[in-house]
Amino acid sequence: MIRFFYNLGIIVTSPLWKVATVFSPKVKCIVNGRKETKKRLKELNTKLVKRIWIHLASLGEFEMVLPLVDALDDSKCEFHFSFYSPSGYMNAKLPNNRSYKWYLLNDTKNDAEYWIKQLDPDLAVFVKYEFWLNHLKATNKNKVQFIYWNVLLRENHFLTKWFSQAWWIELMKTKKVFAQDSFTHQIFKDKGIASEIIGDIRFLRSLQALNNKSALSKEWESELNKYQNIIFGSSWELEEQAAHEYLTNNTDNNIRIVLVPHNIGRTNIQRLIKQFEHFGVLCYSNNKPELIKDNRVVLIDNIGLLQSIYKLGSFAVVGGGFKNALHNIIEPLSCGLPVVSGDNTPKFPEAKSAAASEALIQCSSKGELAKVISKLTDNSELLQKHKEFAAEHFQHKLPNLNKAFGYCRKLMTI
């Protein structure tokens, strides 16, 4: 909602918007960040090499475009990443010393034209679903070639509505759209726009991340490896309630519930400790992995550990699926883990395809989730079957980007 209103130009100067900066840290970061962008644009060095402008919403989209950056990184160009979200701007780690990050200016006619003229890019790359009308107009007005990278549209996306004509007039001038799925590809193809399906780049990024050094110590890995671990990744309350129900009905001491809650705030961690105290809870922050033997629940109260923990799992329960807020199922799949989740996931096409491949088992209630966990822990043949489904699905979904990379390299020689 903040994003929608901010891009109505009149809101920027209204008293209500100034009030919003007081009550919303996110709005304050955006407003101050865009002021800083204008200041830095005035001081931008004269262009000596070609510039690529890449616009993304946040950190997830930043990860999606890094393979393309690697393919274009020939030391003969600069990369300028613009973000809408403070979380993306503050957390993105720039790939090389010829990379810069910015807050994108407000999507008004004057700001968009100022941005494009000052930056003067040779190629613009819009990632996933960044359709800023005035920035598109300024890009076309200044004859900057542009592409869309890993675009994903849902059935109710505004570009499918009657009022989207102004956007399509600008989008018709794109060089090419690299679509994540066949539905998106067909929408652009029907408009006569060059389009190519490249798949979901998150699968490739997850595969690459497997080579990263584990964030866990050897002591933690050694102790966890002694057990069959059920990883609750980014868990919400309903998944945690299912974990409690499972533990109540199953007493196998060779199984550990590893809870990685999406909220690691102090209040929530204390709630979880109390909720599971009957079964024994060991917090990761205690740094005593030798005590896993005495506790059936391992509670991860730090960030940045989840993918390393998935590598030690038997299967994963991923949070948010009961609330249409499903967290990342691709990370556990990349580790060969089948996934269990809630079934309220219409916004997540990766869930639909994984469920069709039986790499994902979806449940309609916490009670059903607890029963599925029991089936997988009690039946090793069933679990192995779903592990094979998970591995096959992940391999099938890995994108081959060589053709797309070649096309984009040619654009930079024009």
Structure confidence at residue 265 (pLDDT): 95
pLDDT in tens, 358-386: 999 999 999 999 999 999 999 999 999 99
Structure confidence at residue 27 (pLDDT): 83
Q: How far is CA 402 from CA 193, 198, 385, 405, 409, in A?
A: 21, 10, 32, 5, 11
The predicted model gives 95-99 an average pLDDT of: 93
pLDDT in tens, 27-71: 888 889 999 999 999 999 889 899 999 999 999 999 999 999 999
Total-model pTM? 0.87
Statement: residue 18 has pLDDT above 50: yes
The predicted model gives 133-159 an average pLDDT of: 96
Q: Distance between CA 349 and CA 258 in Å, rounded?
A: 27
The predicted model gives 96-123 an average pLDDT of: 96
Percent of the chain surpassing pLDDT 70:
94
Higher pLDDT, 268 or 48: 268
3-state secondary structure of 412: coil
Q: Where in 274-412 does DSSP place strands (E)?
A: 281-283, 297-299, 315-318, 339-342, 360-363
DSSP letter for each residue of 200-231: -HHHHHHHHHTTSPPSS-HHHHHHHTTSEEEE
pLDDT in tens, 281-312: 999 999 999 999 999 999 999 999 999 999 99
Statement: residue 275 has pLDDT above 90: yes
Structure-block tokens of residue 79: 């990369």
Cβ atoms 332, 307 nearer than 8 A: no
Cβ atoms 334, 394 nearer than 8 A: yes
Residue 284 CA, chain-centre distance (Å), reads: 25
Statement: residue 11 has pLDDT above 60: no
Q: Distance between CA 263 and CA 168 in Å, rounded?
A: 40
Q: Distance between CA 386 and CA 375 in Å, rounded?
A: 12
Beta bridge mates, 126:
55, 148
Percent of the chain surpassing pLDDT 90:
88
Structure-block tokens of residue 31: 């407003």
Read off the pLDDT band of 127 (50, 70, 90).
very high
| Per-domain residue ranges of the chain | 2-199+399-411, 209-397
Q: Does domain 209-397 have CATH number 3.40.50.2000?
A: yes
- Would you say the CATH fold of 209-397 matches that of 2-199+399-411? yes
Task: Tell me how crowded residue 113 is: count the other CB atoms within 10 A of its CB.
Answer: 18
Q: Does domain 2-199+399-411 have CATH number 3.40.190.10?
A: no
The predicted model gives 206-214 an average pLDDT of: 92
